[in-house]
Amino acid sequence: MRDGEKHTKSAMIAVALAEDTSHTEQDQLVRNGTRLICTCGDPRLPPAQDLSWGILISHVVAELAWYTQHRYSLPIYYHGCPGEEVLSNHSLRSTDACLRLLDPDEEPKYSGYKVEQSVADEVAAVIAGREDAPICKICSNLTKENSRWKSLYLPKDVKVLAHHMKTKHDVQLTKNLIVFEYFRY
Ligand SMILES: [Zn+2]
Ligand SMILES: [Zn+2]
């Protein structure tokens, strides 16, 4: 079985979709009234009308790969610092799947990651003043030096940064959590 099919199958089992659900039906569930959602609420995902089953599954697979990469990149002698950890917030296991198939009258619930306007303004000012892309300080601390490279860069987008802090580290975004390092590769 190809990887894509494998993930699709896991996703269908995770949300208890019938095995004979067609591609069109899968897409409709994602698009129509947002019945099938990823609970992480990633602001980088397109709005529901532009989503497809494929985009949603690729998103989950990319998040899983990101977490695996993080585990491989932990500093060897890292024993953990209080409050410094990366949470695994995506899963295709049915016990803790990040995907949810909502009941027809159920409102989607996403991870909340709102930041106060004053903090948002501070962070926006910090990232606007730099040419390099911002990096999450916690992720950087948790990545061994020779694995620190461009994959640590985050977009210059306060919403995305706030979402990252909340869903990956369960902390609120502050300007002190944003650092800048330059990588050639
Ligand atoms: Zn997600
Ligand atoms: Zn981080």
- The mean predicted confidence, pLDDT, of the chain is 90
Ligand nearest to the CA of 87: 2
Give 43-79 pLDDT, tens digit per residue: 999 988 889 999 999 999 999 999 999 888 888 777 6
Task: Identify the bridge partners of residue 101 per DSSP, sorted by sequence position.
Answer: 36
| Contact yes or no for 177/171 (Cβ under 8 A) | yes
- From 72, 101, 130, the end of a domain falls on 101
Q: What is the pLDDT along the chain (185 residues), one digit of tens a residue?
A: 677 789 999 999 999 999 999 999 999 999 876 789 999 999 999 988 889 999 999 999 999 999 999 888 888 777 667 768 899 999 999 999 999 999 888 888 888 899 999 999 999 999 999 999 999 999 999 998 888 888 899 999 999 999 999 999 999 999 999 999 887 76
Q: What is the CA(184)–ligand 2 centre distance, in A?
A: 20
What is the domain count for the chain? Answer: 2
Residue 42's nearest CA partner among 122, 154, 152 is 154
Q: Which ligand is nearest to the CA of 164?
A: 2
Ligand nearest to the CA of 111: 1
Hey, CA dihedral for 163, 166, 169, 172, is it positive or negative?
positive
Q: How far is the CA of 22 from the centre of ligand 1 (A)?
A: 22
DSSP H/E element including 36: strand 36-38
Check whether residue 142 and residue 96 sit in a common domain: no
The residue range of the domain holding 29 is 3-101
Do 8 and 81 belong together in one domain? yes
Protein residues with C-beta less than 5 angstroms from the ion ligand 1: 38, 40, 42
